[in-house]
Amino acid sequence: MPNLISVSELLGEIELGSFNLGQIHDFPESEWHSRRMAYEEMESWFTGTALEEKQTQGGRVVDKYPIKINPIRGAVYKHAYALFGEVPDDSRPLATPIFVADDKEGSEDTRKAGEQFLNKVWYDNHGRTLMLSNGITSQIYGGAVFKASYVPEQSWRKIPIRLETVHPSNFVGIPMSGDQFRLEQAWIVKSLSPHEAFRAYGMEFPGDELVYYV
């Protein structure tokens, strides 16, 4: 369980208008920026904008990729569908959760209850769409991120757990030493315009400069 710290401990004293990501304690800023650059290149190949690149040849500026055929987009979709294989055409999640019970007595009942609970959480959060979306994302960027949040304030939810996707370019995960399958740190950082910040979070900022959600 990670230690919980207050916002003031995390950010310290920051003068208004002088904030930058380097001021956040332990934030891997250089890795965040380098990953964003790599992801932008990957995305440009998927969308085909990379095929618009020009080059100088014989004193003339010509297309570097004159045929402009992009085989990547189709391959991404095919690989994403292959991840899940043949699945029923209904509203259930594409990958069915499997629950492993630790107790010996009544383990079958515990397992079934656990699987029903997990499937209900996925169903309530449109899990089929989330899984397919991240299946495609994983083929473009080399990985995908799911985020689970406890949201008791959303009273319309029967189970107060929200599942959502996080764009890889907004995520930096630091694995534990000696165990790459467990995270020691997980950062979600994205840049927003003041208009986006107000629309999404009700926060008002002066000017037109980008702000950060951390």
Q: What is the pTM of this model?
A: 0.79
The residues near 167 (Cβ < 8 Å, ≥ 6 apart) are: 137, 145, 190
Measured in whole angstroms, the distance separating CA 12 from the mean position of its chain's CA atoms is 27
Q: Assess contact for 145 and 169: CB atoms under 8 A.
A: no
The residue among 154 and 91 whose pLDDT is bigger is 154
Strands, E assignment, the chain? 54-57, 60-63, 145-150, 161-166, 171-176, 179-188, 190-192, 211-213
Q: What is the pLDDT of residues 118-170, one digit of tens each?
A: 999 999 999 999 999 999 999 999 999 999 999 999 999 999 999 999 999 99
Return the half-sphere exposure (C-beta side, CA atoms, 13 A cut-off) of residue 121: 19
* Other Cβ atoms within 10 Å of 61 Cβ, number: 8
Q: Of the given ranges (7-21, 43-57, 74-88), which has the lowest mean pLDDT?
A: 7-21
Gap between the Cα atoms of 164 and 168, Å rounded: 13
Strand pairing report for 171-176 and 179-188: antiparallel
| Amino acid identity at 179 | D
